[in-house]
């Protein structure tokens, strides 16, 4: 086999090894079962504190619905009182005047029931407002879920990228040590120069420095991974390809994003919330009617041993005339808030359109970068092998070999970066389309259903405990 054939074979083997290292599994220090990207996303879906906090926030929003329904329900109150009432009574009499000093203990209890009959449609509109707030909250939770999963993708790919860069720098240091040893051996037998040794030594020290920097970057990536996903990885597995989930054309992607992005849907519900808020505040200008019933019992009120039972039933109506302009101002303020919500919807649509187009373009660009990087690595592998062979026959110097190795390392790092960027761009596009969620990705998790808590609390009349027993 010729020297050139050996060089080509060696280049192909190195290319294959690099491609496998970048595109498949990247083992960390400790051997264990590899976590795929979907495994990491499942952990983040279950354990991420920001996502769990958003779920708790939505459960709090659910409680606005039974609070609004309370306007349809009666209020019941029990009152009681007791007092000490010393009395001096002067009593004139034909048999002689006298003073009586009785001490009374007036006491009583009253049960009052108030049932709203008409509150200017405020209760009805408050219920509708609360229900739309829940719908908006669910979309906001979905957006937090997307942000969390995208952060998990970034953390996962960051570990892969930095681990591969560490491995590449480690291989580079090993290669440079061999070059330094070879240069020293050639100097010892009179075939090399001290310049070759110095150049190899300088390149080795630079490589060691780069290796240390890569290790620091990996430690930072691992800390981010643990923060977002909830545990420190031992091994990292493959990333799933999500391009199968994308529309075929850019225009179809924009249309899907405008229809499904949770930010847009949440803003649509927020407009409804603002509209019903205007109606609730306008209801304060309308008459209100309520029915009040009372049962009471009193003892020792006027004389010792006396008692009194009473019952009453009253319909009370109120017509607001002027409240100092407060209610009018609140209505005007709410209308401006409604205008703001409508403008925010237009802004959200523009932002989603921009996000889809940007992610689409970034994905296309990174695909081209990956192809170019792969070709560059292949070419630089071949070039390094050729330079090494030429140095053996005296046509190249040690510096030429060191430069070729550095060029190869740079192209390998560029390849890793391009593949990292391509994966991030793909998941960013999926997020802009509104599809970065546990259902679409088919994560192996117990799905959180916000409707479960809502159904348990929406009609509750009483009870201090939450559905989970707190």
CA distance 70 to 462: 10
Rounded to two decimals, the pTM is 0.82
CA distance 402 to 205: 12
Q: CA dist 185 to 175, 240, 438, Å? A: 15, 48, 59
Superfamily in which the 3-73+121-287+323-457 domain is placed by CATH:
Outer membrane efflux proteins (OEP) (1.20.1600.10)
H or E segment and range at residue 211: helix 194-229
CA distance 173 to 380: 18
Domain boundaries, the chain: 3-73+121-287+323-457
Residue 186: what pLDDT?
A: 84
Residue 20: what pLDDT?
A: 38
CA distance 377 to 190: 35
Q: Digits of tens for pLDDT over the chain (470 positions)? A: 444 344 334 434 443 433 333 343 343 333 334 578 898 999 999 999 999 999 999 999 999 999 999 999 999 999 999 988 886 666 665 555 555 567 888 899 999 999 999 999 999 999 999 999 999 999 999 999 999 999 999 999 999 999 999 999 999 999 899 888 888 888 888 877 898 889 888 999 999 999 999 999 999 999 999 999 988 887 777 777 788 889 999 999 999 999 999 999 999 999 999 999 999 999 999 999 999 999 999 988 777 778 888 999 999 999 999 888 999 999 999 999 999 999 999 999 999 999 999 999 999 999 999 999 999 999 999 999 999 888 887 788 888 888 998 999 999 999 999 999 999 999 999 999 999 999 999 999 999 999 999 899 988 888 888 888 78
CB burial readout 14-51, b (16+ within 10 A) else e: bbeebeebbbeebebeeeeebbbbbbbbbbbbbebeeb
Residue 235: what pLDDT?
A: 79
CA distance 199 to 406: 13
pLDDT tens string 144-164: 999 999 999 999 999 999 999
- Please answer whether residues 126 and 68 qualify as being in contact, where contact means their C-beta atoms are separated by less than 8 angstroms: yes
Main-chain phi, psi angles of 79, to 5 degrees: -115, 150
**DSSP H helical ranges for 283-397:** 326-392
User: DSSP character for 1?
Assistant: -
Q: Of 34, 38, 444, 418, which is closest to residue 241 (Cα–Cα)? A: 38
3-state secondary structure of 81: strand
CA distance 208 to 6: 29
Q: How many helices (H) and strands (E) does the chain have?
A: 12, 10
Beta bridge partners of 113: 76, 293
Give DSSP secondary structure letters for 240-265.
PP-GGGS-SSHHHHHHHHHHH-HHHH
Q: Of 52, 144, 142, which is closest to residue 439 (Cα–Cα)? A: 142
Residue corresponding to tokens 């695909």: 367
CA distance 170 to 174: 6
| Distance from the Cα of residue 434 to its chain's centroid | 13
CA distance 200 to 33: 39
Give DSSP secondary structure letters for 31-69.
--PPBPHHHHHHHHHHH-HHHHHHHHHHHHHHTHHHHHH
Which residues are within 8 A (CB) of 285 and not within 5 positions of it... i.e. 6 or more apart?
120, 320, 327, 331
Residue 1: what pLDDT?
A: 42
Residue 99: what pLDDT?
A: 57
């Amino acid at each position: 086999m010729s020297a050139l054939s050996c060089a080509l074979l060696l280049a192909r083997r190195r290319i294959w090894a690099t491609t496998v290292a970048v595109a498949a599994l990247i083992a960390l220090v400790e051997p264990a079962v590899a976590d795929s990207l979907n495994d990491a996303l499942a952990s983040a879906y279950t354990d991420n504190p920001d996502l769990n906090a958003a779920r708790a926030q939505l459960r709090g929003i659910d409680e606005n619905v039974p609070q609004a329904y309370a306007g349809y329900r009666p209020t019941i109150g029990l009152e009681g009182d007791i007092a000490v009432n010393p009395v001096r009574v002067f009593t004139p009499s034909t048999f002689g005047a006298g003073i009586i000093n009785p001490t009374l203990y007036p006491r009583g209890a009253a049960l009052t029931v108030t049932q709203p009959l008409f509150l200017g449609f405020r209760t009805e509109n408050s219920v509708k407002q609360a229900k739309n707030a829940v719908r908006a909250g669910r979309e906001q939770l979905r957006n937090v879920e997307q942000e969390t999963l995208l952060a998990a993708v970034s953390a996962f790919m960051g570990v892969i990228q930095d681990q591969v860069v560490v491995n590449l720098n480690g291989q580079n240091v090993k290669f440079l040590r061999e070059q330094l040893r070879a240069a020293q051996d050639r100097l010892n037998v009179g075939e090399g120069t001290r310049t070759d040794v110095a150049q190899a030594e300088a390149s080795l020290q630079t490589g060691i420095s780069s290796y240390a920097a890569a290790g620091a970057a990996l430690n930072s990536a691992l800390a981010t991974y643990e923060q977002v996903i909830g545990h420190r990885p031992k091994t990292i597995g493959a990333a799933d390809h999500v391009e199968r989930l994308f529309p075929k054309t850019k225009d179809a992607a924009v249309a899907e994003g405008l229809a499904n992005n949770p930010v847009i849907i949440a803003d649509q519900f927020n407009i409804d919330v603002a509209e019903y808020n205007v109606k609730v505040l306008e209801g304060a200008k309308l008459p209100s009617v309520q029915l009040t019933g009372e049962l009471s019992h009193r003892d020792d009120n006027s004389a010792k041993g006396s008692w009194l039972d009473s019952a009453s039933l009253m319909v009370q109506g109120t017509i607001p005339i002027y409240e100092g302009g407060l209610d009018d101002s609140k209505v005007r303020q709410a209308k401006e808030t409604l205008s703001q919500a409508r403008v925010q919807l237009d802004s959200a649509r523009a932002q989603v359109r921009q996000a889809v187009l940007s992610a689409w373009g970034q994905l296309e660009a990174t695909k081209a970068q990956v192809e170019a990087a792969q070709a560059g690595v292949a070419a630089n592998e071949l070039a390094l092998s050729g330079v090494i062979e030429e140095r053996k026959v005296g046509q190249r110097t040690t510096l030429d070999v060191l430069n070729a190795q550095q060029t190869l390392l740079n192209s390998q790092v560029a390849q890793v970066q391009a593949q990292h960027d391509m994966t991030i761009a793909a998941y960013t596009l999926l997020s802009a389309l509104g599809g970065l969620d546990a259902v679409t990705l088919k994560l192996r998790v117990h799905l959180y259903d916000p409707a479960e808590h809502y159904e348990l609390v929406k009609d509750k009349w009483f009870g201090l405990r939450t559905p989970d027993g707190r």
